[in-house]
Amino acid sequence: MNYLVISAHDYRSRRKAGLHFITAELAKRGQTRFFSCQYSLLSDLKSDPRKSIGALANKREVFDGVECYLWKTLIHPFNMRKPVLQPIESFLFRRYLRHVSPVLVEWIKQSDMVVFESGIAPIFFDLVRELNPRARTVYVASDDLATINVASYVKHTFDRIAPQMDALCLKSRFMIDGIPPSDNQYIVPHGFDFSVADHADPSPYGAGQHAVSLGSMLFDPSFFVIASKLFPEMTFHVIGSGMGRHEGYGSNVIVYDEMPHKQTLPYIKHATIGLAPYRAAGLPAYLSDTSLKLMQYDFFGLPAVCPQAIVGDYQSRFGYVPGNEQSIGDAIRAARAAPRITFRTPLAWSDVVDRILSPDSFPDTQVPSSGRRNLDAAGSRYTPLPA
């Protein structure tokens, strides 16, 4: 089998997302290629994580057994946000498709299966159908399109083509809300790399109690302004927040730059509690199922503190209301008193890919009909486009 992954990530990036692990597993099963798009001179003006490999743009490279290509253009299409600018936005997307990379054309023609990650990738579906109608097409929903604020052109395209794909693999049951009704939807949860246990020693901490936070997604610095003053005896470790030290932080807050994933593992395993300080605005419910840091905390038996909206049915999590001092204090106290127990075991990435390749073979991937009926009754965020 020949697999092609299309994404706005790059397989060689330092920051790893779920699609990187999926790609690595696909590479064990056949020739796998990773095409990275929506990168241009505009990206160099922003904090695009692919800037560190910008010198590799428009060059083929085999990395860890995966053939990679970062397509860099002069400009790339993007969400212009204002309705009055949508004609320009659509023009940029159509132009992008008219001048598509010859490498992508070649790889599409040679593929048996094409994986589209949520984001810009679905705009290439029609091209795949034109160039290689026999190829199996699979959508991997890493994020809800409304949550990541994709351009209207992308959302309209996805709403049109989603029912035509062979499979829509949703990482959480909470994602059904934003997907057009169809019979090709499956629940394929976020996987987990169990080898992290081999890289989590020794402890990087000294004596005392330590709380750790990882990552920059929806990061809320006000949490640490409050928590560091409520718990002066505890040390708060903030890793890779994408922000410098906030002026309101107590002296017991240590801020670290982004680290390689393996380097963060001892900070998780040996912490007293884990923190997921997401800000309230734009917080999607599906993070309860897809947050990698929360999954890692649970794997190491670490009680976690997170906003109430994403506690879900996980017994190892203690919720608070962002910005509310009393609830933050209560959540941290409850987490510190909780036992270190792993309450559920996630799927290995090999099991995830088994389900992506053959979702009908697994009963746990099926979307319950009651879930769709309940969504319809409550009112879905999905709105059909006018004919």
Structural domains in the chain, sorted by start: 2-187 (3.40.50.11010), 195-337 (3.40.50.2000)
Q: What is the pLDDT of residue 310?
A: 95
Q: What is the pLDDT of residue 86?
A: 87
Q: Any residues with CB less than 8 A from the CB of 203 and at least 6 apart, and which? A: 266, 269, 270
Q: Is the dihedral of CA 294, 11, 118, 257 positive or negative?
A: positive
Q: Looking at residue 13, what DSSP letter applies?
A: -
Q: Looking at residue 178, what DSSP letter applies?
A: G
Among 244-248, 318-322, 367-371, name the one with the lowest average pLDDT.
367-371
Average pLDDT estimate for 89-97: 95
C-alpha 148/C-alpha 118 separation (Å) is 9
Q: What is the pLDDT of residue 369?
A: 65
Average pLDDT estimate for 242-268: 93
User: Which is catalytic among the residues 10, 143, 144, 289?
Assistant: 143
Q: What is the pLDDT of residue 379?
A: 38
How large is the angle between the packed helices 261-269 and 292-299, nearest 10 degrees? 50
- Residue 17's pLDDT band (cuts 50, 70, 90): confident
Q: What is the pLDDT of residue 386?
A: 36
Strand 66-73, strand 31-40: pairing = parallel
Q: Any residues with CB less than 8 A from the CB of 371 and at least 6 apart, and which? A: 173, 176
Among 168-172, 178-182, 381-385, name the one with the lowest average pLDDT.
381-385
285 vs 231, higher pLDDT = 231
**Among residues of the chain, what percentage have pLDDT more than 90?**
78
Query: Which runs of consecutive H residues, i.e. helices, occur in the chain?
Result: 18-27, 86-98, 102-109, 125-131, 152-161, 222-230, 261-269, 287-290, 292-299, 325-337, 349-357, 369-378
The whole-chain average pLDDT of the chain stands at 92
Write out pLDDT tens, residues 32-84. 999 999 999 888 888 788 988 999 999 999 999 999 999 999 999 988 888 88
Write out pLDDT tens, residues 251-261. 999 999 988 88
Q: Is 143 a catalytic residue?
A: yes
Average pLDDT estimate for 200-214: 97
φ/ψ region of 31 (left if φ > 0, alpha if ψ in -120 to 50, else beta) reads beta
Q: What is the pLDDT of residue 268?
A: 97
Residue whose pair of structure tokens reads 């994580």 in the numeric block: 49
Average pLDDT estimate for 139-161: 93
Q: What is the pLDDT of residue 74?
A: 92
